[in-house]
Amino acid sequence: MKNIMFIAAPAAGKGTQAELVVQKYGIPHISTGDILREISKEDSEIGNYVAETLSSGKLVKDEITYQLIEDRLKKDDCKNGYIIDGFPRNIDQAYEYDRILEKLGYEVGNVIYINVDKNTLEKRITGRRICEDCNTIYNINDKNSSPQVESICDNCGGKLYQRSDDNLESFQTRYNTYEEKTAPIIEHYKKQGVLKEIDGNDSVENIFKKIDEIIRD
């Protein structure tokens, strides 16, 4: 199977789709967040550095992140394809990723851009409600995932709440950053002829069908 990279805006459903691919194909899901958390548990020079940096809320140096990604991708379980998540986040990292791939003799594979209208994303984020007891997620802007009784969880009767950053202003900021950093990445992979764009204004099942058609071969 070819390697997979997803590009999608916040709340576009990238994480859910990655999970579905993992379930169906059993390939590893490589996330920079997980790699850093994992290494921070190791008692080594680099492990201690990462642990200290993360706990102080700072960013791990790029060179270290690159090296850790390269080391992770070298492992045997990545030889038959993997999903890379949370990387590259900007065009410099995309160039760096190209270098890592070349060094390892890998190809970038399918770069899948899940394109969702900003308006749809806005509705998803501002409508999201979470059960404070069982964490079930609802969306009051979508009749298929609204609770039956307002503000009450269907499963357990718990109270629903809205996360403090699920508001329009915070979405706007995240979206603007995403657009600014991601547009050049999309262009970069389009030029390489590996970008597959799919319409993400659709149900989880239908989006997965489209992704599956791309990655199956």
Residue 14 a catalytic site member: yes
Give the max Cα distance, the chain. 56
What order of strands is seen across the sheet that includes strand 160-161? Answer: 137-139, 128-131, 160-161
Q: Judged by CB, which is closer to Zn ion: 153, or 185?
A: 153
Q: Is 134 in the site for Zn ion (CB under 5 A)?
A: yes
- Residue closer to Zn ion (CB basis): 95 or 161: 161
Under the criterion CB under 5 A, does residue 131 sit at the interface with Zn ion?
Answer: yes
Distance CA 135, CA 158 (A): 9
Of 37, 75, 79, 163, which one is the catalytic site residue? 163
Stretch that binds Zn ion, among 29-37, 90-98, 117-125, 135-143 (CB under 5 A): 135-143
The dihedral of CA 4, 5, 9, 10: what is its sign?
A: positive
| Amino acid letter, 195 | L
Interface residue with Zn ion among 67, 155, 167, 206 (CB under 5 A) is 155
- Residue (157 or 184) nearer to Zn ion, CB: 157
Count interface residues toward Zn ion (CB under 5 A). 8
How many C-beta atoms surround the C-beta of residue 70 within 10 A? 16
Q: What is the DSSP letter of 194?
A: -
CA distance 88 to 6: 10
Residues identified as active-site: 14, 89, 128, 163, 174
Binding site for Zn ion (CB under 5 A): 131, 133-134, 136, 153, 155-156, 158
